[in-house]
Every structure is written in structure tokens, then in C-alpha cells.
Amino acid sequence: MRILASLVLLAAQVYIPATPNGPTPNANPAFPLHVKILQIHWTHNRWGTTGWGRANLIAPTEQGFDYTFDCGEPFMTTKGDAFYSARWKKMNERIELIEQRIGSSKTDKCDLKVDMKPYVYRYENGALVTKPT
């Protein structure tokens, strides 16, 4: 019986759906980069969230990048004028992103491993395309 109960608890930990975080409503001076997350694919497990996607660094200059991550919580794509505040942890290799929990003022941080591109990403007719910078 104990083994069955342990297996049920283990399965519940693995399959509990995660609620993604969103961008912070205000820019943070300690995190001067502005990032628009355009595409994200993630899976949640008992250790956290892992995923990949495409994004644009919009400040200080606009440039596209691909990224991967392993974080405690997933995050959402940005819409409209929204952006994530971020800062370089290792120039052109790793960005630290601030995420805000939905319905709360608490924030989480997530490191993105980035592959900077010589173009930006744009949506055209529902498809993500590249455009020269």
C-alpha cells in the first residue's frame, strides 16, 4: 500500500500543470535590456521547466535570438508593447530575465542561453519570419 501511495504522489508531482509567469509591468533599471518573447515551447516536470524559443532583444538595439532555458517556472510570450526586463550574465551567451507571477507582485528570475542572430524576428500572416536589422 505504501508503494502505491508513493507512486501516486510521484505521478502527481510530475503531472501538475504549471502556471506561466508574465513580464513585469515596469522597466527595472538594474535590468536595462528589453526582451520580447515571440515563441516558446516548454515542458514542466518535478524539477522545474525546460524549453526553447525565439525572441528579440529590443533595447538597447533590436536583434533576434534563439534561446533555451531550465527554470523553476515557465513564462509567456509577450503581446503588444509588453517586454521582459533582462540583463547580460555573459555577453552574447546568457541573459537573466525577470518574470512576474500572475496575480502577485513577486518575481522570479530565469537564465536564458542565447544564440544571437544577425536579423530580427517578425510575424507576417501568422508565420514567424526573419528580417534584416
Residue 9 lies in a domain: no
Residue 6 lies in a domain: no
Over residues 3-17, the mean pLDDT reads 50
| C-alpha to C-alpha distance for 17 and 101, rounded to whole angstroms | 15
| C-alpha to C-alpha distance for 32 and 53, rounded to whole angstroms | 21
Say whether pTM exceeds 0.85: no
Number of structural domains in the chain: 1
Residue 37 lies in a domain: yes
Select the more confidently predicted residue: 128 or 12: 128
pLDDT above 60 for 6:
no
The label of the residue with cell 507571477 reads 101
Residue 101 lies in a domain: yes
Instruction: Provide the domain limits for residue 58.
Output: 18-132
The label of the residue with cell 501568422 reads 126
How confident is the model at residue 26, as a pLDDT?
A: 84
Neighbours of 28 (CB within 10 A): 13
Residue 50 lies in a domain: yes
Q: CA of 18: how far to CAs of 94, 98, 101, 102, in Å?
A: 24, 17, 12, 12
Q: What is the DSSP letter of 21?
A: B
Residue 55 lies in a domain: yes
Neighbours of 42 (CB within 10 A): 17
Residue 1 lies in a domain: no
